[in-house]
Amino acid sequence: ARCFAVIPAAGSGKRMGAAIPKQYLTLLGKPVLQHTIERLLAVAAVERIVVALAADDPRWPALPAAFDPRVMTAIGGAERADSVLAGLRALAAEARPDDWVMVHDAARPCLRPDDVEKLLAELEGDPVGGILALPSVDTLKEVEGRDIVATVDRSRIWRALTPQLFRYRPLTESLERALAAGATITDEASAVEWAGRRPKIVEGHPGNIKITRPEDLPLAEFYLRQQT
């Protein structure tokens, strides 16, 4: 099977609260989205990368990545899942049903090559796919209002990261059906789970953070520096 990538990059970064979307903020002299695309371009197995952008994104044309022959764009949608689906549809002419699609957040520029290799290796031959994830380090509480009602069994709880790697057809169909049914879909795995399948988890590196709030920016620079 061949391997493609989709990068949802159409968000507005509300929690960051910056003047521009967080994927265009600069880390170590380079926009977040440029870092992220370079991480996936470095993966030899990835034949093509679709970046889902906001309509009329004014900053995209200035990114060096926009000129890479392996990179193409699609227009994203209102929610992350809509953006991912737009990216998948842009691959419709090229991708076969069992080709792999690696979906990776634009806001995770610190992705390590080792993690990508591990994900590809551990899912090789799998009929569905799976995701990078991290075991929870904190004790987890179930809460009503501000009252703790239970302590969750932490050994069963993992935090979902990206990349998430799925076969093209099951992923596309799961997303289409789950969205049409109005299900809450926050990552690719949740759509595939909704469709009744069981994605695998592969333990990732804690440095693969999602840039969400201002405090994440120096942390991301720390992890990027570690790798250069």
Which residues contact ligand CTP by CB under 6 A?
8-15, 23, 52, 76-80, 83, 105-107, 210, 212
- Smallest separation (angstroms) from ligand CTP to the CB of 87: 9
- Smallest separation (angstroms) from ligand CTP to the CB of 122: 23
202, amino acid identity: V
**Tokens at 39, concatenated:** 């991480």
10 vs 55: CA distance, rounded Å: 8
**Tokens at 195, concatenated:** 């469709």
- Smallest separation (angstroms) from ligand CTP to the CB of 8: 3
Nearest to ligand CTP of 164, 174 (CB atom)? 164
101, amino acid identity: V
- Smallest separation (angstroms) from ligand CTP to the CB of 49: 14
- Smallest separation (angstroms) from ligand CTP to the CB of 213: 8
Nearest to ligand CTP of 50, 128 (CB atom)? 50
Nearest to ligand CTP of 122, 207 (CB atom)? 207
Closest CB to ligand CTP: residue number: 11
Nearest to ligand CTP of 1, 62 (CB atom)? 62
110 vs 28: CA distance, rounded Å: 12
Q: State whether the Cα torsion 64-205-213-171 is positive or negative.
A: positive
112 vs 33: CA distance, rounded Å: 15
Whether 91 and 4 have beta carbons less than 8 Å apart is answered as yes
Nearest to ligand CTP of 3, 107 (CB atom)? 107
Nearest to ligand CTP of 8, 199 (CB atom)? 8
Q: Tell me the residue ranges of DSSP E strands in the chain.
A: 3-9, 26-27, 30-31, 46-53, 71-75, 100-103, 129-135, 141-144, 147-151, 158-167, 200-203
- Smallest separation (angstroms) from ligand CTP to the CB of 147: 28
Kindly report the three-state secondary structure assignment for every residue of 86-104: HHHHCCCCCCCCCCEEEEC
